[in-house]
Structure 1
Amino acid sequence: MRRGTFRDGTVDYAAVGATHAPDLMQYPPERSIPAEETWRLGSGEDRFRTAGDSLLSWTAQRAAGLSVEDVRPASGPAYAGVSFDAEGNPVAPVKREVEQRFDAEGTPFAGPGMTLRLHGRVAGMSADAQLRVISVTEDPRCISLVLGTVDGSVVSGEELFQIDWHEETDEVWFTVRAFDAPTSVLYRFIPGLVKRRRKELFARYLRAISPLYATPL
């Protein structure tokens, strides 16, 4: 089990972690546009592990046609967040070192507090942004990654990528949740462009994690 959460004031939005909120689609952060999609990837532990490693090694972004640049791990130990004991009592958060992994090209796997730059275009629109890894979770049946905007994007907000391996059915599901608040003048006047950009991003992420194009939930 590995969990890490980064807490800092350097992101350019206030609702840090809001992509985890169960009512995101009904009550998104002010002036933001929420989005969510869930796809079945298949079943079994091998599919879960493969999808999880792809997620944390930036495959979703790269296979979506975006360039991942200037990846910089956070210095010092990560904040581990609040966990619970067997009786459901909260355990005080601690700081600890997290083992760093690297892909075949030497790029670090996602870790809390890490910063990176994305460069590219989506549906004819800019996808350039500086991002911070807000949190990473690696549990026996759930692997997730949350990215938040820092600067240089036409929108401000957060993305949650999550792989779940359901114990009851053995099925593996991929969920992406996000909220985008327009920052550029064009996007503020034409909010439909934000939805179009997000829809295309979701489709590309699915191609990256599941080449079979599973049917949306």
Structure 2
Amino acid sequence: MPALDEVACTGPWRHRHPGEKAVLAFGLLGCAVALPPWPGAAVVGVVAAALLLGPAGLGPRRLLRAARGPMVFVVVGALPLLFSLGGPALVRLDPAGVGAALALAGRATAALLCLLLFAATTPLADTLPRLHRLGVPPAVVDVAGLVYRMLFLLLDRIAAVRAAQAGRLGFRSSHTAIRSVAGQAGAVFVSAFDRARRMEQGLALRAEPGALRVQLPAQRLSRRFLAGTAVLLAAVVTVSVLA
């Protein structure tokens, strides 16, 4: 199981209602988008990071591991704003783009931390069944759930194939490593295609799309948690506007 899913399933907020965590995470996300980049995005980012490292129990290493991939896209998206086209040189550094690049990177980083706050505290198995109440088509929810389950099966299959290839010295040189990776991709594709076909046949024999139902645990929204969230969001807005 990936580290983020493991934390979501075993973390301190595992048994809280998903609506509470959605109000907190997406409320902060709205603040990151609506408030000025400075100091709004910085305040939101600090608050989201503090919640992740504190009450959510993610930990610094897991936070860095979960954020390093998306942060690559943030950096790649902000770098072009530092350059401009035209003039004596075809491409030149634009001093006016520094502010825009920092603003984009700040907003994107704060938004990323807000999304990680929801993902690291709310398992997808708790979220998908409740999407019916929000008007999401049942077929879309079922497809999303099946794709989510297939990811774990594919990860297990990849690990098994890689272990078998390593046991046969499939990575002893660059040439054998390339051949092993190609064979691994082919084996995983065939396995995934066959499993998806069997799953489709099984679902077609059981029920119509959207007929799958799961039993959800009895959970109530905590008024104290929602009140604390409202106070926190109000404090973030106040500090960002008055600073």
After TM superposition, the score normalised by the length of structure 1 is 0.29
Q: Larger helix proportion, structure 1 or 2?
A: 2
Bigger Rg over Cα: 2
Q: Larger strand proportion, structure 1 or 2?
A: 1
